[in-house]
Chains A and B, each alone.
Chain A
Amino acid sequence: MKGGQRTGDLHSALRPWYFAGPATLWTVAFFVLPLAAMAVVSLWTLEGQSTDFSLANYRQFFANPSYYRAMINSLEVTAIVTVVSVLLAYPLAWILAEGVPERWQRLALILAILPFWTSYVVRSYSWLLVLSERGVVNNVLVASGLLNAPVQLANTRFATILGFVHFFVMLLTLTIYASLKQLPRTYRRAAADLGASGLQTFRHIILPLTMPGIMVGAFLTFVLAIGDYVTPQILGGNNELLMPQLIMLQIGRRGDFPLAAALSLILMLVVTVAYLAAARWLKLERA
């Protein structure tokens, strides 16, 4: 638009594409095309290396209990993780925003999310240290006489949930803190002047106004948790599989890319549906 008139018409029409073109091409070539390739391959079958199109892999997902069970496990774990993380993070964000003196808030917040920056692999391994049979938790419980013998904490669903909650409490503290800080302090004073108790102010003013922030954080939690392979593989082990583990198992053990592709697309579909639901809900909230 701007300054394009001086040069030729074709040149000026093309000019924006010099800038937006490379990123667009990159995304098409290495994001859209791979997904398309995945969709095509998901219609193949591994048995006999057939490249005839069929819905066999998708049918298998719904017919085989051990496959759809993984999806149910994933949804259960992710739901528990999301709810527990929000419930734990909200009070912490509140204390940071309200109880900590202004000049220390930034430092307190950086500290609260410092371990957020560890790699998934290292973070999960660290929890393995804590939860192992000879780890610090069992050590303390046995030494204090609360337990006679160490209990198995690692390789359980509990361990997976704990590892996830640890990560997402940090993420949610950050998003909820941000939405709490955006609330004008005058709202609370106005509510108090009108005779609302602290609890009433929270229920009717603060909670509804921070809801969009909570929802964004909860949605991020859902997307990141349901797609993560590392945490359940290291902490949960192979006793019960979540979707990402089931997908990786198809490649690792059997080289069954068609089935892995179909399972990946089913997982993606679930996340997309959740996204549409969340987007719709958020819009309704704001209206």
Chain B
Amino acid sequence: MKNLAPSLAWAYALILYGFIFLPVIMLVLFSFQGTMFPVPPFNGPSLRWYETVLADSRLTSALVNSLVLAVATSLFAVFLGFLAAYGLARYRLPGSNFLRGLITAPLMVSYLIIGMGLNIMFNGMGVPKSLAAAGIGHVVINLPLCFAIIYSQMGEHQVNIERAARDLGAKDWQVLTHITAPMLWPALFAGFFLSMTFSWDEFVISFLLTRFDTTLPVEIWSLLRSGLSPKTNAIGSIVFGVSIVMVLVLELVVLRRRRI
């Protein structure tokens, strides 16, 4: 009995890791398929589908759109979130509990409903569908995240340093850029990279708010209509790879440092 339990535990862990990785392995493996269908038997490896993807200008421009959108909306979300966290942590405002609740409220609402609301409002105002409209939606979903992360790292220990800077004649914006931001950079960085991954992977808001010029997940969505294809595997593997790079950067730069 004593020897059985650990091996049962290992078997269980192994099965679950298999379950977790099975679809990813199928995705990446059959992106190197040499023939027309991404199902067994595997004929490869071949890079032909990656070449097809890179030659497809719709996909490559969607890839660039997605990257630009992810960087721009994340920077803006971190900026707004940082200012709000500073204001609510350092000043006593009437109804600050309410404000905190308001700013984090979008976390509770599904992306579909946020996208639908913006779609209806923009329709009513005559604002055409565009990447910028989707960008507004991405800031809405990422601002609460950035705010919550940065706010949670605003401690009392930074207050004295900020006060010292102010006594030495620093203006508000100088305190923010020279004192507060550098002290909080792990939180700023974490907010930025998490927002990047969420924006990069986001589908339904972009689907509802863009038309011709769109993001990569939306382009992949329209590829799905033609059924299974190694081409979809190839672009899907690229999307996955970029997400993993973002997460690894976050892990290596921010989380590892905090542990020391």
A-side residues, CB < 8 A to B, are: 1-3, 15-24, 26-28, 30-35, 37-38, 41, 88, 91-92, 95-96, 99, 110-112, 114-115, 117-123, 125-130, 132, 134-136, 139, 166, 169-170, 223-224, 226-230, 234, 244, 247-248, 251, 257, 260-261, 264, 267-268, 271-272, 275
Contacts and interface: CB of A to CB of B under 8 A. Distances in A.
A231 to B, nearest CB: 11
Nearest to A115: B24
A128 B44 CA distance: 21
Nearest to B93: A16
Interface stretch (B52-60, B98-106, B183-191): B98-106
Contact of B22 (A95, A110, A130): A130
Majority DSSP secondary structure for residues of B touching A = helix
Interface of B: 6, 9-10, 12-13, 16-17, 19-24, 26-27, 30, 37-40, 80-81, 83-84, 86-88, 90-93, 96, 99, 102-103, 105-106, 108-114, 116-121, 123-124, 136-137, 139-140, 143, 147, 159, 163, 166, 172, 197, 200-204, 208, 217, 220-221, 224, 228, 232-233, 236, 239-240, 243-244, 246-247, 251
Contact of A118 (B24, B88, B103, B208): B24
Nearest to A134: B39
Contact of B243 (A35, A96, A118): A118
Nearest to A139: B40
**Which of B10, B117, B220, B247 is packed against the most chain A CB atoms within 10 Å?**
B117
Given A32-B102, A120-B217, A125-B232, 8 more contacts: A17-B87, A27-B105, A30-B118, A34-B117, A91-B9, A119-B203, A128-B228, A257-B119
Contacts of A136: 22, 26, 39-40
A118 B22 CA distance: 13
